[in-house]
Amino acid sequence: MKYADSKTSGHSPLMCPRCRRAYPAGESTLCDQCGERLQEKGYCPVCENYLMLPQGATCPKHDLELIARPGDDPASASPMTVGVGWAPVRIFSDSTALAAARIRLEAEGIPTYLEGERMGSASMYRVATGGIRLLVPADQIADARIILDQIWAAPTAEDEL
């Protein structure tokens, strides 16, 4: 079974599951090195890229099921991430402050995504990467900024009167 390319044939790029070599769609059906049958790579809608994992596997970064190709099976991916552009709403240097903001946004129904979270530990990596970026869908950035700009405090005795 040979294909022309992933855009014209409707097939994903190929990979060898045994030796992890990548092949363009249409090259062949067997790996040149080990002879294993090639599989189609899975596509992560958040990474917006094909990964060296088969379709149906989970993206190690986003915990989403990998699909055949962009727009192919939106039911298998989170509806909040398919076709959504993400925009940074705030940059944090402290993981604790970031967690509070993320919880507040998600409690209000705004999905979040962290960029640079693994580098957010208390080390020089945080300084070198510019901090951890809290991203939200671009169409909800105004609402997210309003929510994060609100000051929340515990009720006082005067408030209860």
Q: Are residues 7 and 59 in the same domain?
A: yes
- Whether residues 64 and 15 share a domain: the answer is yes
Q: Same domain for 11 and 62?
A: yes
Average pLDDT of the residues of the chain: 76
Residue 4 has pLDDT above 80, yes or no: no
Does one domain contain both 91 and 126?
yes
pLDDT > 90 in the chain, percent: 13
Shared domain for 57 and 112, answered yes or no, is no
- Whether 109 is covered by a domain: the verdict is yes
* Residue that is last in its domain, among 41, 73, 105: 73
Q: Is residue 154 a part of any domain in this protein?
A: no
Position 115 scores a pLDDT of 82
DSSP type of residue 38 = P
Residue 53 belongs to a domain: yes
For residues 45 and 91, state if they share a domain.
no
pLDDT of 122: 57
Sign of the Cα pseudo-torsion (38, 53, 20, 3, in order): positive
pLDDT tens digit string along 30-68? Answer: 888 888 898 888 888 777 788 888 888 888 877 778 888
Q: Are strands 86-92 and 132-137 parallel, antiparallel or unpaired?
A: antiparallel
Range of the domain at 98: 86-149
- Statement: residue 131 has pLDDT above 50: yes
Please indicate, yes or no, if residue 24 is contained in any of the structural domains. Answer: yes
pLDDT of residue 151 exceeding 90: no
pLDDT of residue 108: 92
Distance, CA of 128 to CA of 141 (rounded, Å): 26
- pTM for the structure as a whole: 0.43
Separation CA 13–CA 3 (nearest Å):
10
Is residue 26 within 8 Å of residue 12, measured between CB atoms?
no
Residue 157 domain-assigned? no
**53 and 90 part of one domain:** no
Q: Per residue in 10-38, is it b (16+ CB within 10 Å) or e — as a string?
A: ebbbbbbeeeebebebbbeeebeeeeeeb
